[in-house]
Amino acid sequence: MSSSKARKPSGLFRNLSAKIASVPMVLTALVVFVGGTAWTVVYSFTSSKLLPKLNFVGLDQYERLWSTRRWLISIENLAIYGFFSMIFTLLIGFTLAALLDRKIRGENVFRTIFLYPFALSFVVTGLAWQWILNPDLGVQNVVRSMGWESFAFNPLNDPDIVIYGILIAGLWQGTGLIMVIMLAGLRGIDEDIWKAARVDGIGTIKTYVRVIIPMMRPVFVTALVLIASGIIKIYDLVVAQTNGGPGIASEVPAKYVINYMFRAQNLAQGFAASTMMLVSVIIILIPWAYLEFGGKKRG
């Protein structure tokens, strides 16, 4: 850092060809991502309907958004789905990875089985779980036909718990990938650490919790980012599995955005909703980035 100050005049021209080569990508990023985002935010303050028009109405769209029952339900669903999805994906993913890492027989077979759901799209996952959770075809029917007549398990038709039905499908699809990432992380841990822990007489579980997990911090960060982006953009799973039903009980924010932009032909309302999604991402991202990058400088 200190030496760069002296070389500052020539800094701009260092690696010139590489910099020229990256200009198109920088422009794309600026125009498409930053520009598109700014455009969306600006138009969310207008009264645009089917076509974007610049007649500003202040915060009207946001006021309407936050007094719309469907949006509030969407946010609540996203919070529930996000909270449980984050915890269970990490927990199950890590547990499976740790079990596979114990040098068991047939590791390849299990790894393939656990990862396989990830190869399916959310639409296929949603449809498959719609059938599995259907009371007349799926789990409930199977258990009842085995003799437990009063067994009831019908999450997709109950507005109070439908989001958990979607959560199950989401976990089934997503944990495999996290398991593989965790497994790669575990394989990156030096054998000598384990030997040292054994010499010191530390138990296996305690070694995992106290030594291995702190060492896997970068892996956890990767997994966290992957899971979080999956949560925010959840859309196709819901469309395929319940289409927001019963009623509007399993609506999610992304679906609200699409619906209001295209079906309701109210661009500004959709833009306002997508801006709120962006804001929530930023609210989560900034403290994290501050801790992650700001912390390092101090350390």
Does 269 sit near other proteins (CB under 8 A)?
yes
Specify the residue, 90 or 120, whose C-beta has the smaller distance to other proteins.
Answer: 120
Distance CA(214)–CA(227), nearest Å, equals 19
User: Least distance (Å) from other proteins to the CB of residue 235?
Assistant: 10
Would you tell me how many other CB atoms lie within 10 Å of the CB of residue 121?
12
Does 249 sit near other proteins (CB under 8 A)?
yes
With CB under 8 A as the contact rule, the residue among 127, 224, 248, 278 that binds other proteins is: 248
Piece of the chain touching other proteins by CB under 8 A; list 97-105, 257-265, 274-282, 284-292? 257-265
Does 297 sit near other proteins (CB under 8 A)?
no
Does 259 sit near other proteins (CB under 8 A)?
yes
Could you please report the per-residue DSSP string of 205-269?
A: HHHIIIIIHHHTHHHHHHHHHHHHHHHHT--HHHHHHTTT-STTTT--HHHHHHIIIIIS--HHH
User: Least distance (Å) from other proteins to the CB of residue 105?
Assistant: 41
Distance CA(57)–CA(49), nearest Å, equals 13
With CB under 8 A as the contact rule, the residue among 39, 262, 288, 290 that binds other proteins is: 262
Specify the residue, 39 or 83, whose C-beta has the smaller distance to other proteins.
Answer: 39
Buried b (16+ CB within 10 A) or exposed e, 268-279: bbbbbbbbbbee
Specify the residue, 49 or 198, whose C-beta has the smaller distance to other proteins.
Answer: 49
* Residues between 111 and 150 with contacts to other proteins, criterion CB under 8 A: 135
Does 266 sit near other proteins (CB under 8 A)?
yes
CA distance to 83, 88, 210, 226, per residue, from 219 (Å) = 20, 16, 16, 11
Closest CA to 273 of 70, 35, 58, 56: 70
Specify the residue, 175 or 269, whose C-beta has the smaller distance to other proteins.
Answer: 269
User: Least distance (Å) from other proteins to the CB of residue 262?
Assistant: 4
Does 40 sit near other proteins (CB under 8 A)?
no
Distance CA(75)–CA(71), nearest Å, equals 6
Binding residues (CB under 8 A) for other proteins: these are 49-51, 64, 68-70, 135, 157, 159, 243-249, 259-260, 262-266, 269
